[in-house]
Structure 1
Amino acid sequence: MKTLRRIALALVVIGAINWGLVGLFRYDLVGSIFGGTDSGFARFIFTLVGISGIICLGLLFNSKTADVGSSEGNRGTNNNTRYATEFAEEPDLERLYNPSRDAYESEDEEEEFK
């Protein structure tokens, strides 16, 4: 399925370039390569480009497949998960909320050593 989407995306890009050339310069590249706009093979290419556009339309609405180049395993998941444990030391929140406590404790510790 991934290969089909890549081929469809390539055909959509070719179609977009062709429409750009038609819009800017009135030059149909696909028609000129394959024998005119009304030739059977040019109409076949135009049909393939149209079908590819329908296939790529799904990329607009499906967030998991929006990134065509991503690997299959990483789609739609966040691998930056961190789990906490209950075995760690609890932080001293009093020291966090009352920084002046550090100054008082350091003076008390100095007096004990004298």
Structure 2
Amino acid sequence: MRTILAIAHLMLIVGGLNWLAVGIAQIDVVAAVFGGQSALLARVVYVLVGLSAIVVAMTIPRLLGTAIFSDLPRRR
């Protein structure tokens, strides 16, 4: 699971930096590298970034449960 999370975090960084470039310079780096937004490889990267967001989002309850809410009394 650690490897999957590491890859997911890396993909989110790639996606975030791509959106930064879009926002600042109106350049879609992924599309430029892989031949346009509709190119198969670019679409694969976009899908992987989206799936990575889902994987990382699924870890939030565990993160919050152990880090922030661990001192609160539990309901029964």
Higher helix share: 2
| Mapped partners of 2:8, 2:40: distance in 1 | 20
Larger Rg: 1
Q: Does 1:59 align with 2:46?
A: no
* Distance in 2 (alpha carbons) for counterparts of 1:61 and 1:29: 32
Q: Determine if the alignment matches structure 1 residue 29 to structure 2 residue 58.
A: no
CA–CA distance in structure 1, aligned partners of residues 56 and 17 of structure 2: 16
Question: What does 1:1-114 align with in structure 2 at a 5 Å threshold?
Answer: 1-63=1-63
CA deviation map 1:44-66 (0-9, x unaligned)? 110000000100112322127x8
In 2: Cα distance, 1:12 partner to 1:60 partner: 15
Q: What is the TM-score of this pair, normalised by structure 1?
A: 0.54
What stretches of structure 1 of length at least 5 have no aligned partner?
Answer: 68-114
Higher relative contact order (CA 8 A, sep 6+): 2
> What TM-score results when the alignment is normalised by the length of structure 2?
0.79
CA distance in 1, matches of 2:15, 2:28: 10
- Which amino acid in 1 is paired with 2:30? V
RMSD over aligned Cα atoms: 2.1
Question: How many pairs align?
Answer: 67
Cα shift readout 1:30-54 (whole Å, capped 9, x = no counterpart): 0000001111110011000000010
Q: Which residue of 1 aligns with 2:73?
A: none
